[in-house]
Structure 1
Amino acid sequence: MFGGDGSFRTLGRWETAVVLFTNQVGLGILSLPNALRILGIVPGVIAIIGIGLLSTYTAYELLQYWRAHPHVLNLVDMAKVLGGRPLQIVVGVSFVLNFALTCASAGVTLSIALNTISEHAACTVLWIGLVMLVCWALCLPRTFKFVAKVGIPSTVSIVAAVLITTIGLGVTGPQGQPPGWEPEIVVAGNPTFRQGLSACLNIAYAYAGNSGFVSVFTEMRDPSRDFVPALTILQLASISLYVVIAIAIYCLAGDLVTSPALGSASVTVAKVAYGIALPALLATGVVFAHCAIKYMYVVALQAQHATHEATRNTRRSWATWVGCASAFWIVAFVLCNAIPAFSSILDVSSALFIAWFTFGISAVFYFDRLRTRKTWSRWDKGLLIPLNAVIICIALFMNGAGMWVAVVGLQEVFSQPGVEGPFTCADNSLF
């Protein structure tokens, strides 16, 4: 409907690696230095590398399931193969809500940026409303041709902002440092259960790109041959970048590191860094929103038996598109104001959706693929069956304990003087 035949499959392994990198490297990198502060350098680095390797394996399992069902176009189609119409509906709704939380995370970060740059010149609800309105307007064009062109500039923008923060910390030190202050570096931290799990949830958010990998398969010339090399390039680059940036900022800011990390630098440097990051944050919201709106649009037209109007400029097609875009950004606006703290919204997103879209559902696909085999290999019996069972348990644990961690952390934010719960006017750059 929005694609075409094989002539539209244009991505080789290097192009795919670039697409995967721009899809994955974004908001999550801003939480990693604070994760090292909580866990300590050694456990923190182990967690960044370990979670990255785990997401690499689960991405490979997505490819294996796609090889068995090459007609699928996205993760929702895979769910239909796995569990029929009921699971398709559940995963479809979750797919949209996952993107809504991603866009809400971008919105929260944008409001923090605007509060920092303007020195809290307006109510946080107003900043969030302004951001949501701009994103909604940018999502109104249905073709949205520049979506495919903003990936690389967006990633360059967020990496440049992080590098500016790192350099600023090296020159002027962190914001709020007392006289004679020296960074205190913890090799192995002693976090509480809640602090440790929250840090790991924030790290998991940095590897949230898996949900879009299936859609990339449909754009590749030869996914079976090129995806694994592209995935390897992606993870080597992203894990290395994550480790280097996390260590550099934490070692320079010490116990004064913040989340998002751009606020760790002096006021002037933080304003510059957030200004540089604005295009990346805006692009993150718009690109993911457009993907969700397009999915909603197709489903809505199917319900109206009007899929033939999908690419036509009719009143019904435009009303459906605008309605889907409006509904999506209203949900994102409510989520932004309900969870206005950066770490908390990452925790909620990881616990609710990334737990499954990045990890758990791939393990379920493995067992479904295993069910159709006539024989099991030694790898299956000795390693892969236990590994995938553990991955499902991890996803369930992230769901349960992770949501408890997110809710308790959010309650602490709301208990701060002047915050007074959701839809707060308080400066969320200080949370």
Structure 2
Amino acid sequence: MTNIDEKLSADGSDVKTVAPETEDVFGPEDDHDIQYKTLSWQYVAFFMIAEIVSNGMLTLPNAMATVGIVPSLILTIFLGVFGLFTAKLLIDFKLNHPDVHNMGDAGYLIFGPIGREILSLGTIIFAIFGVGSELLSGQLALTTLSNNGMCAVDLLLIFSAATFILSLPRTLGRMSWLGFVSTIAITLCGLLAMIGAGANPTPGRMLSATVPTTFYNAFLAVTGPVFAYAGHFMFFILISEMRQPRDAMKAAWTLQVFSTAFYAVFSVVVYVYLGNTVQSPALLSLSPVWAKITFAIGLVNFLLSGALYSHTAAKLIFVRFFRHSRHLYTHTVLGWSVWTFLCFGATALAFVFAAAVPVFSDLTGITASLFASWYTYGIAGFFWLYDTYYLGGEGAKALKRRWGGTVLSVLTIISGAFICVAGTYVSIKLIADAYASGTVGKPFAC
């Protein structure tokens, strides 16, 4: 990890200064069989779009139906800007600490060994639940395309096997074309969904600029926009495999501008044509023909996004085990065996959870609230405060001198805490209500 030297400040107080590493997590790769640092910023942007826009887009029209067009649009645009701000803080932190490969490494630097374990475990859990969410989306797509022609669990198993196979490349560079294809697929899926909604609008539909509602219902609805940007937990891993990490902000700008504009247009168009009865995911509210067309194209994105989530969970553990060892960058039996097992384990766990837990979607909401709220929003404030305090050698003086950034960072932390608590409460209440009403299904049911 980063070397920390104790120095004495001008006023006699002890201040820590951090000497940035000159070597990143993978080190020089000229003589390595497996080279990780091959991604351009364009392909990193494709990965970010493919992973973040995937399922997030499809829940937004329903959120708009719950709170109204105006609040939903304001929230979508605000969160897009906020997500760009926190992405900048994460990227700056990564550039200051090239040896940070994932959130666990960052947690160790700031909070010590306990922080590393909590943030590492949180990343793995969130990634596995992300795989499960994509598996269920793929299952739903296959069920729609087959007219319920097969048992849903069988379809889930088939989709899981394909996801596992696509997650196997050791480097993200080997998967870069998948990110490009996935981005094209989800974009085309959204465009065709808007066309399909316009071709078959809901007769007598009702539209609302604003909708009076309770805090519970409002926050339940806005979890869609809030977590539609929840992909920052993967940024460190993506940037670590870039040829030029300093170009990472270009990828972040591309992601946030594209996703914010696309989210706003998609949610408004679909909501205007389908009205307050639009479902989540929105594709279920299209006519049967258009639903099949859009699900068929979206299926590509669900598959590749699931593979990327599985790859991320496996990569964190793999680098943790083999950092600086030959198994990381050469073709060894042990290295490939462990890698294959980790990819399989991540996908298999996601399959079991998705098939066996009837309230899996609500559990995914809990994991998003507990972890994504921090990875995407709150923890970025800690990154800025840490680097401002330590890197300049001025300690608290630097925080006072740069008071504007300090205030913004503290507000960022408070925002993450609020989203975490409120989102967890809403998700737990959803589960309790489902069991109370008897609407919970059975494990492994067709």
Query: So what's the TM-score if we normalise by structure 2?
Result: 0.83
CA gap 1:61/1:371 in 2 versus in 1, 3 angstroms: same
The 5-angstrom pairing of residues 16-415 of structure 1 reads 16-140=44-168, 142=170, 146-174=174-202, 181-220=203-242, 222-224=244-246, 226-301=247-322, 307-312=325-330, 314-337=332-355, 344=362, 347-372=365-390, 373=392, 374=394, 375-376=397-398, 380-381=402-403, 383-413=404-434
CA gap 1:235/1:246 in 2 versus in 1, 3 angstroms: same
1:300/1:320 contact within 8 Å kept: no
1:43/1:188 contact within 8 Å kept: yes
**Cα distance between partner residues in 2 of 1:130 and 1:144:** 24
Cα deviation code 1:251-271 (max 9, x no counterpart): 111012111111110112111
**Cα distance between partner residues in 2 of 1:217 and 1:379:** 30
Figure out how many residues of one structure are paired with residues of the other and give that number: 414
Structure 1, unaligned runs of 5 or more: 175-180, 427-431
**Cα distance between partner residues in 2 of 1:90 and 1:66:** 19
**Cα distance between partner residues in 2 of 1:134 and 1:146:** 17
* CA shift for structure 1 position 378: 7.4
Structure 2, unaligned runs of 5 or more: 1-23, 31-35
1:415/1:421 contact within 8 Å kept: no
Cα deviation code 1:170-223 (max 9, x no counterpart): 11235xxxxxx3221110112322221122222122212222222343344554
1:52/1:239 contact within 8 Å kept: yes
2:193/2:283 contact within 8 Å kept: yes
Cα deviation code 1:310-341 (max 9, x no counterpart): 45555533442333233222321233135556
* CA shift for structure 1 position 5: 3.1
Percent of pairs with identical residues: 26
**Cα distance between partner residues in 1 of 2:72 and 2:258:** 18
1:161/1:277 contact within 8 Å kept: yes
Task: Report the AA paired with residue 28 of structure 2.
Answer: D
CA gap 1:283/1:19 in 2 versus in 1, 3 angstroms: closer
133-142 or 52-61, which deviates more: 133-142
Q: Secondary structure at the match of 1:65?
A: helix
**Cα distance between partner residues in 2 of 1:307 and 1:214:** 20
**Cα distance between partner residues in 1 of 2:81 and 2:248:** 16
Q: Secondary structure at the match of 2:338?
A: helix
Q: Secondary structure at the match of 1:258?
A: coil
2:43/2:180 contact within 8 Å kept: no
**Cα distance between partner residues in 1 of 2:241 and 2:332:** 28
Q: Secondary structure at the match of 2:207?
A: coil
Query: So what's the TM-score if we normalise by structure 1?
Result: 0.85
1:197/1:402 contact within 8 Å kept: yes
